[in-house]
Amino acid sequence: MVGSGSWATALIKLLLNHQESIYWYLRDEKKIEKIRKTAHNQFYLQSVYLDPDRLNMTTDLNEVVENSDVIVFCTPSAYFMNTMSNLKVSLENKFIISAIKGFVDEKNLTVAEYFNQFHKIPFDRIGVISGPCHAEEVSMERLSYLTLTSKHAEVARALCDVFACDYIKTTPGTDIYGVEYSAALKNIYAIAAGICHGLGYGDNFMAVLMTNAYHEIAEFLNATHPDKDRVLTTSAYLGDLLVTGYSQFSRNRTFGNMLGKGYSVISAQAEMNMVAEGYYASRCINEINKEFRIDMPIAEAVYMILYERKYPAYVIKQLTDKLF
């Protein structure tokens, strides 16, 4: 496992249902010592019990890679390249699983694309974890659903067996591109939902907003990575969009809500002290869409608020005339 946040902690909890021991890369030695002493991650999901006798925790990424056949990456996309800069050993013959929702490096690549292009890992050895699922509810053992995606259905089904338990139901999938792009896009629309909530828009408008967000995701995926077998009304796409746009646990919605209430981008980021992935995804999607020129008024509105510092109330008012 690579990562120390909420999702990493939740996935460790799930993996310990099936694995005798896990190698876990964390950047902070003090955090490792606290987990060893308390059996809890004091910074994320504090209620989750983490058996220190079954966790080989280290600040050495290369040690984790060398001693693991399957590596789960769960760092925020904004910190991913910095983490990978510490890697000195080969990833040859390793199976990579990404739980990262966003783009990495200056080429706006998804995590699967990055490992394929930079480390020559075939898509046969890459898996993607998607929702709809919040780490907080996993920690409380509330019934949740995960989609495990890989190039081959039989591999995806094998991944499902690794993460499933009494309170986690799993679904296999093969649409790596669609799931990764949809996961990044839904964070942008969750920011939009938060902004509108902060501005005082009600449930009636929110329903229209999320419906249009779904159509924008569909238009983007069909234009950039068409797949005749993709069913966008399933949980990995529509479900993930809905839970991220509506849930109290959504960091992106919370971030947007603060912007709607008058916070600046910088002050909202500072007060949250957590990464809202949609902030970075907004810039990446804006750059990618310069090539495709897909009509995405909600994504464009969020970009204008985040990066062009446009006044949220004005931008959203203009947006209302473009929705249907």
Q: Contact 41/10 with Cβ under 8 angstroms?
A: no
Read off φ and ψ for residue 263, nearest 5 degrees.
Answer: -70, 150
CA distances from residue 111 to 52, 104, 134 in whole angstroms, order as listed: 29, 7, 20
DSSP 194: H
C-alpha–C-alpha distance, residues 49 and 57, integer Å: 15
Specify whether 186 is catalytic: yes
Do residues 313 and 199 make contact, with C-beta atoms less than 8 angstroms apart?
Answer: yes
Token pair recorded at residue 92: 């040859």
Distances (CA, A) of 135 to 44, 49, 98, 216: 10, 14, 15, 26
Q: Is 105 left (phi over 0), alpha (psi -120 to 50) or beta?
A: left
Contacts of 266 (CB under 8 A, 6+ apart): none
Q: Which of 186, 261, 317, 322 is catalytic?
A: 186
Beta strands per DSSP E along 50-143: 55-58, 70-73, 95-98, 103-104, 109-110, 126-130
Backbone angles phi, psi at 125, to 5 degrees: -115, 30
Rg (CA), the chain: 19
Neighbours of 84 (CB within 10 A): 19
Residues facing 171 on adjacent strands: 147
Task: Give residue for tokens 């249009």.
Answer: 212
What is the sign, positive or negative, of the torsion defined by CA atoms of 231, 232, 237, 238?
A: negative
What is the rounded distance in angstroms from the CA atom of residue 81 to the CA atom of residue 286?
20
Distance CA 186, CA 189 (A): 5
Give the active site residues: 186
